[in-house]
Amino acid sequence: MNYFTGFKLHNARWLLLVVLLQICSWQQAFAQEGTTISGVVISQTDQEAVIGASVVVQGTTRGTVTDVEGNFSLQLEEGDQTLEVSYVGYKPAIITIGNQSTFKVELEENVQQLDELVVVGYGVQKKKDLTGSIATIDSENLKSVPSANPTDALQGKVSGVQVVQQGQPGTAPVIRIRGVGTTGNANPLYVVDGMLLDDISYLSAQDIKSMQVLKDASATAIYGSRGANGVIIITTKEGKKGSNTVNYSGYAGIQNVQRRIDMVNGSQYATLANELTTNNGGTDLPFPDVNNVADTDWFDEIFQVAPIQNHQLTFSGGNDNTLYNVSLSYFKQDGVVKNSSYDRIALRINNTYQMADWFKVGHNIQFSYITEDLAPGNVVQNAYMMAPTDVPTNPDGSFKASSTNVANPAAQLFYESNNRTRRLWTVGTVFAEATIAKDFRLKTNVGWEINGSTNRNFVPQYFVSPTQQNLASRLTVSNNIFTSYLWENTLSYYKEFNEKHQLSAVVGVTVQNFRSESLTGGRLNVPSGSEDLWYLDAGDLDGQTNSNNASESSLFSYLGRANYTLLDRYLLTASLRVDGSSRFGTNNRFAAFPSVALGWRVSEESFWKDNISFVSNFKLRGSYGQIGNDKIGDYASQATISTGFDYSTGTPANRRPGATAIDLANPNLVWETVEQYNVGFEIGFLQQRLTTEFDYYGRTSRDLLVNIPVPSNAGFDAQQTVNLGEVENKGIDLSINWEDSKGDFNYRAGATFSTVNNKVNQLGTAIPIINGPLNFGGYQASITRVGDAIGSFYGYEVIGVNQDADDLANFPQAPNAKIGDLRFRDQDNNNVIDDADRVIIGNPTPSMIFGLTLGFGYKGLDFSMDWAGQAGNDIYNGKKQVRPDLVNFESSFLNRWTGPGTSTTEPLVENSGASFNVSDRFVEDGSFFRLNNVTVGYTFNSELTERVFIKKLRIYASGTNLVTFTDYSGFNPEIISSNPIATGIDLGTYPVPSVYTMGVDITF
């Protein structure tokens, strides 16, 4: 039996059927006269034999099936022209016979098949039996986008998922699944081969086999408190029996800034600066001759065309006893901002060992070594603000001082770019699985994440100007280590009863511990020579700084889920997870999170089958459940005391060490709970060539975990974590896909569409309004309050510009307003512009997210195109509002008011005053539609490549982030923050680059 273990037929009855059909085909061949053809059928993905594939002369019932090596032989009759080759799980192939007598047929896997296995929490299910809202992305879709983080490729491909790419090399994208339901951490949970993680930046897309996005409570409740913001399950590649391969995949290319902010040139800046001086009552113009000034493009000084490359070598295969998959990869990306880069070397080892028929063990382990160089954090903002009439250097080559208080960006890059982080990151799982009795399987899984990093930041002594200098060289060294250990034990059960009932269940116990520690030190007057001297001991003892802190938390959980199927069409799923978290006090440490879901495969009913044949699948499903959220500080329920509050007593005064409370205890703190309901359907037409999935969902977050300040009459400055408020998200998810082939030509098209309506239903009576953390001119730019979306923009509504003295006298005005300033709407009609006139002026949450995918293949040629976009969200252009000095102007300032009747939208030129209040002057439409990726590839004929021992050879060219259609004036219309309250506020972001690559994929 071991010989047949690795075959694709896992049931003796099917094997017997194959043998009988093969005998019949031999008899038929001997009984007929004519031309005999032969061939082999293999899988396009792994080049393995496809056993039991049907080979039929098209338009007839004459045919055969492939044997245990994928071979077939068939006798033809006069007039036979075409073969049709098919097998469950693969797309049919149409082969023209012509004058050929031997054939090699490669079948492409059909990911739309209903029997496809989908990874769910602590197990797998057939797609047709799913009751939850789960989207699957295969490895080919993930590899199409050149990025350090594989989740970048999700953008536009999964309904209900917002993916916001970040331009800084190595920075993970921000992902929101079905909106934001909390004022705290809204990031999803990642599960990689059973290990629960918050970040997967260590992982290469080439190592991923599939990615499942779990969106509703039926799918995520099994993860309890970790699943409140959605779950992304990742399965990495493993070896296959009988297939020993060596694969190299790699690409190299360049990046550049896709779109720049439209700034004024030197002459225009000089004109505006002169006007500003005049408007402020000055007579000494800074630029007497506006046509004879420098014209520096400061973006040219900091941006570059940057290289990117990726290489991976994979060894994979196995036999009856061992499966192995070992990969070694190298990824390097230089940033489009000079002196920024990201390098990653990774080794991954996935092995499974069959110790006995009933027992196996395995491991999935990755080691990553990462080096990250950071450019100065505000260099992009400074390039935005720097006057174009300034130049980078003096005639002698030294850096020239800025004419304003903005730091010279070129000098920043030269002096402040010695900021490097080195990271050793290992993530892995080791498991043992045993069949302990009929239908029962016991599995124990031990996982870990160890992320240790060292940051070394050196700034030499330098002088550019009194406002841009460093009087003594400075070195800061920081060591950080984060560890997480997971131990899970699960017992699974699967049973079919009388071919009418199917029952699968899993129960388990898990425990996970988290610990982080940091140690930081600093010294002055460290030698500025070789990097070999950049150590703390080389600096002065006087003025040294140091700090050391740590935190720890743990989770203990029970879990259970049952799936029941009746007559292959009535579906029931129920799950329960009980979590206990050390982050909560003893009063509320444990909480239970249940879910239930129902499904009905209507297309399996006889009344449907007999009457609606063109609909191949129709399933209704619905779910309800609760998920928790404990993403707060490790000691939020406890009082925290901080030292460093020294005081003086006595005569003469003596300095004494002091301490005070900075966080008050709250033993009654409870879990933030997310309730979700989901109703939807799946429908397939024309043998699943056209498929559609639709969901309507509601998601309500209660008992939000929020930090609030303690009233000042308490006598000290502190805060407390409390439960207050309720946030609701509602919307729809829709995906439509078409996939078909005509002979050698295959094509596909897909679209995703999602809506989300975010609203705060209630907040605690003590804190009716939560202001945003960013402050402009004394006002916060965002607000969170009942009836509006989280982090809505809050300010004045502009209704015009004061054209003359009559306008100034006859309309309500902001304090210190003058002719040429903006005029704001008097919302309460009291003839005074004050705080009561501030209203909601924008929403940072997109109301719609959409994507479009197109592709085709012809023989060896393949082409794909991906689009992504969003609509209904606003961006607050904060960088345009912040005017610390006579800084540069966006081109919109050229439409300024210069006298009565000249402008009703843009005020006169100034750097402060009423026109720079928080208002919708700075709110812009954030909608966009982007050509995310175009890839053209060619796979050489295997009959040709096998002559040089190559099983598969593909070359391709790809372009990513090629063009963005948007009205937003900034680098990128996607502005998001890890803090939901600060989302959509642009203070100067790192541009997301366009990437152009060429690559090759070779399998030996």
Closest CA to 225 of 192, 171, 184: 184
Chain position carrying tokens 């005569």: 651
Copy the structure tokens of residue 443: 């599995």
Reported confidence tier of residue 126, pLDDT bands at 50, 70, 90:
confident
For residue 311, is pLDDT > 70?
Answer: yes
Reported confidence tier of residue 661, pLDDT bands at 50, 70, 90:
low
Q: Which amino acid belongs to residue 859?
A: K
Copy the structure tokens of residue 85: 């080759």
Copy the structure tokens of residue 616: 């191949």
pLDDT in the model for residue 644? 60
How does pLDDT run across 242-262, given as a tens digit for each residue? 778 999 999 999 999 989 999
pLDDT in the model for residue 6? 36
Q: Sort strands 54-57 and 117-120 into parallel, antiparallel or unpaired.
A: unpaired
User: In this structure, what is the dihedral angle of CA atoms 914, 919, 925, 926, given to the nearest 10 degrees?
Assistant: 100
pLDDT in the model for residue 919? 94
Q: Report the distance separating Cα 98 and Cα 810, nearest Å.
A: 89
For residue 10, is pLDDT > 70?
Answer: no
Reported confidence tier of residue 725, pLDDT bands at 50, 70, 90:
confident
For residue 998, is pLDDT > 70?
Answer: yes
Q: What is the mean pLDDT of the chain?
A: 87
How does pLDDT run across 171-227, given as a tens digit for each residue? 889 999 998 888 778 899 999 999 999 999 999 999 999 899 999 988 998 998 888
Copy the structure tokens of residue 543: 């003025």
Mean pLDDT across 787-810: 93
Q: Report the distance separating Cα 825 and Cα 421, nearest Å.
A: 50
SS3 265: coil
pLDDT in the model for residue 722? 78
pLDDT in the model for residue 711? 63
pLDDT in the model for residue 686? 84
What distance lies between CA 272 and its chain's CA centroid? 42
Mean pLDDT across 755-784: 78
pLDDT in the model for residue 775? 66
At residue 433's C-alpha, the angle toward residues 430 and 438, to 5°, is 170
Across 169-301, where does the E strand assignment appear?
A: 174-177, 189-192, 195-197, 208-214, 231-236, 245-257
Q: Report the distance separating Cα 575 and Cα 676, nearest Å.
A: 14
Closest CA to 225 of 808, 806, 627, 828: 627
3-state secondary structure 45-80: CCCCECCCCEEEECCCCCEEECCCCCEEEEECCCCC
| In the chain, % of residues over pLDDT 70 | 90
* DSSP code per residue over 630-661: --S-TTTTS-EEEE---EEETTTTEEE--EEE
DSSP 724: -
How many CA atoms within 13 Å lie on the side-chain side of 245?
23
Copy the structure tokens of residue 491: 């017992």
Count Cβ atoms within 10 A of the Cβ of residue 848 and give its class: 0-12 exposed, 13-18 middle, 19 or more buried.
middle
Q: Report the distance separating Cα 7 and Cα 15, nearest Å.
A: 10
Q: Report the distance separating Cα 517 and Cα 477, nearest Å.
A: 14
Closest CA to 308 of 170, 443, 135: 170
How does pLDDT run across 77-111, given as a tens digit for each residue? 887 888 888 875 577 888 888 888 888 898 876 64
For residue 733, is pLDDT > 80?
Answer: yes
Sheet with 63-65, strands from edge to edge, namely 63-65, 54-57, 82-86, 93-96
Mean pLDDT across 38-52: 80
Q: Sort strands 798-801 and 822-824 into parallel, antiparallel or unpaired.
A: antiparallel
Closest CA to 40 of 5, 4, 88, 85: 85
Q: Report the distance separating Cα 632 and Cα 855, nearest Å.
A: 44
Mean pLDDT across 792-802: 94
SS3 12: helix
How does pLDDT run across 386-413, given as a tens digit for each residue? 999 999 999 999 999 999 889 999 999 9
pLDDT in the model for residue 267? 96
pLDDT in the model for residue 639? 63
Mean pLDDT across 650-656: 68
Q: Report the distance separating Cα 939 and Cα 248, nearest Å.
A: 14
Query: Quick one: CA dihedral 605, 608, 611, 613, positive or negative?
Result: negative
Closest CA to 991 of 219, 58, 261: 261
For residue 837, is pLDDT > 90?
Answer: yes
Q: Report the distance separating Cα 547 and Cα 570, nearest Å.
A: 60
For residue 682, is pLDDT > 90?
Answer: yes
For residue 713, is pLDDT > 60?
Answer: no
Mean pLDDT across 618-645: 78
Residue of 28 and 607 predicted with greater confidence:
607
pLDDT in the model for residue 778? 66
User: In this structure, what is the dihedral angle of CA atoms 222, 228, 229, 230, given to the nearest 10 degrees?
Assistant: 20
Q: Which amino acid belongs to residue 392?
A: P
For residue 47, is pLDDT > 50?
Answer: yes
Contact between 190 and 449 under an 8 Å Cβ cutoff? The reply is: no
3-state secondary structure 300-359: HHHECCEEEEEEEEEEEEECCCEEEEEEEEEEEEECCECCCEEEEEEEEEEEEEEEECCE
Q: Report the distance separating Cα 979 and Cα 772, nearest Å.
A: 10
pLDDT in the model for residue 21? 39
- Give the long-range contacts of residues 292-296, CB within 8 A, separation 24 or more: 293/266, 293/267, 293/269, 293/389, 294/266, 294/388, 294/389, 294/390, 294/391, 295/265, 295/266, 295/267, 295/388, 295/389, 296/266, 296/386, 296/388, 296/389, 296/390, 296/391, 296/392
For residue 763, is pLDDT > 60?
Answer: yes
Mean pLDDT across 420-429: 96
Mean pLDDT across 410-436: 95
Residue of 643 and 55 predicted with greater confidence:
55
According to DSSP, the residues that pair with 450 across neighbouring strands are 426, 483
Helical (H) or strand (E) element with 16:
helix 12-31
Contact between 441 and 433 under an 8 Å Cβ cutoff? The reply is: yes
Cα dist from 692 to 131, 238, 867, whole Å: 15, 31, 19
How does pLDDT run across 528-576, given as a tens digit for each residue? 878 888 999 999 998 889 999 999 999 999 999 999 999 989 999 999 9
At residue 985's C-alpha, the angle toward residues 305 and 990, to 5°, is 15
Closest CA to 777 of 733, 816, 809, 741: 816
Cα dist from 595 to 221, 310, 624, 627, 667, whole Å: 6, 42, 6, 9, 28
pLDDT in the model for residue 992? 93
pLDDT in the model for residue 32? 37
Closest CA to 999 of 964, 954, 934: 954
For residue 233, is pLDDT > 50?
Answer: yes
SS3 447: strand
Reported confidence tier of residue 34, pLDDT bands at 50, 70, 90:
low
According to DSSP, the residues that pair with 596 across neighbouring strands are 574, 624
Q: Report the distance separating Cα 216 and Cα 596, nearest Å.
A: 11
Q: Please give the radius of gyration of the chain, using alpha carbons only, rounded to the nearest integer.
A: 32
